[in-house]
A = this chain, B = another copy of it.
């Protein structure tokens, strides 16, 4: 190699992407409230669109974060040993001790784990079945690995159509069947009998991916039993909701031990940092906090249902930290989101029928609920004045 100057970059051509990446359209799984705030030129007064916990973090978690901040210079344990041990203990009541450390994978939120699971199971072109309008990041991950998404519409009731999901999975020879339970964006929930039947009828070579981000908000005895060594099911849970640690990105998968070992071959070993791991383990040590959050969220949902009744809007039953309000049509729902935005309120709406006529409000604190109610009523008045079509 001599020392001539290199050619100007303008002459350089880009190395080719993979064929798969080349084929993908631009995609954004979620536009965050920060992006919306930059666009609208100001912060939201009420942040009720991302289903974040309004009830903060446990005092012991706060103490750990403040104490261990000075040790941010240390890498994390790539085995997540302490956190997985703490999780196995914490799940003992639900699992009868059947979930051990070897049944647990920690990831960068459920989002990171969805990518890992799709990568592990789905070859390009294989079918993946999910609800039409269900979790966008799952779809994003399936597309990103070349899977073929097949969508099954929700029922008019707002529930996932388990029969249709199953039939479609069978017909398409689907590799994955995704179900959020309790569901986002509807809030609906299927109890253990329905899940047992779904699992019984699951086609061969199809994995049931059960996204239980909102598990803590459902009745414990209606969650399907934790049987981690059933290799046809992976359950996904998170510290982002009841534990209020969304900003630390810690999710976990409960899976067969052999599946966990397979993930170890491809997972990002240093994806979840030291502070995140310590905070999550601390949260498990203070279960009363999450239980109290669940109670306060339940009270908040009741407030929202009452608000809906008072304003003449139907609401969907929910076992999550949000409630969906029926605006009657997609056009009215879209407009309602805009009208709330103008009033400083960040909310989201489902994008696909039949749920696209709803607007979804995260349960806020007592103060936030008191603040949003008159703004919501006022926005609804303005919407009524605009005489938009009510048919969807």
Q: Chain A: residues with CB nearer than 8 A to chain B?
A: 1-7, 9, 12-19, 21, 24-30, 32, 34-35, 38, 47, 50, 52-57, 61-62, 65-66, 69-79, 81, 108-109, 111-112, 115, 119-123, 137, 140, 144, 162-163, 166, 175, 193-194, 196-201, 204-207, 227, 229-232, 240, 244-249, 256, 258-259, 261-262, 264-266, 268-276, 279
Contacts and interface: CB of A to CB of B under 8 A. Distances in A.
B69 A62 contact: yes
A65 B56 contact: no
A109 B66 contact: no
Copies of this chain, whole number: 2
Contact of A81 (B24, B34, B53): B34
A308 B52 CA distance: 54
Contacts of A29: 78, 269
A266 B22 CA distance: 11
Contact of A69 (B7, B57, B207): B57
| Most central of A13, A76, A163, A258 by chain B CB within 10 Å | A76
A379 to B, nearest CB: 24
Nearest to A82: B34
A56 B70 contact: yes
Choose among A35, A38, A199, A275 the residue with the greatest number of B CB atoms under 10 Å from its CB.
A275
Given A29-B269, A163-B1, A247 B76 contact: yes
Given A15-B121, A247-B274, 10 more contacts: A1-B200, A9-B229, A9-B232, A13-B231, A14-B258, A28-B78, A30-B78, A47-B74, A76-B247, A247-B273
A3 B197 contact: yes
A69 B264 CA distance: 30
Nearest to A4: B200
A193 B3 CA distance: 7
Contacts of A12: 230-232
A6 B77 CA distance: 38
A215 to B, nearest CB: 18
Among all A-B residue pairs, the 8 with the closest Cβ atoms:
A14-B231, A247-B274, A9-B230, A1-B197, A65-B69, A73-B244, A6-B200, A34-B77
Contacts of A72: 57, 61, 65, 244-248, 279
Contact of A73 (B34, B55, B70, B194): B55
A155 to B, nearest CB: 14
A112 B268 contact: yes
A185 to B, nearest CB: 16
B78 A57 contact: no
A264 B76 CA distance: 26
B70 A18 contact: no
Contact of A227 (B9, B115, B229): B9
Nearest to A53: B73
A271 B18 contact: no
B264 A248 contact: no
B73 A245 contact: yes
Contact of A52 (B25, B73, B175): B73
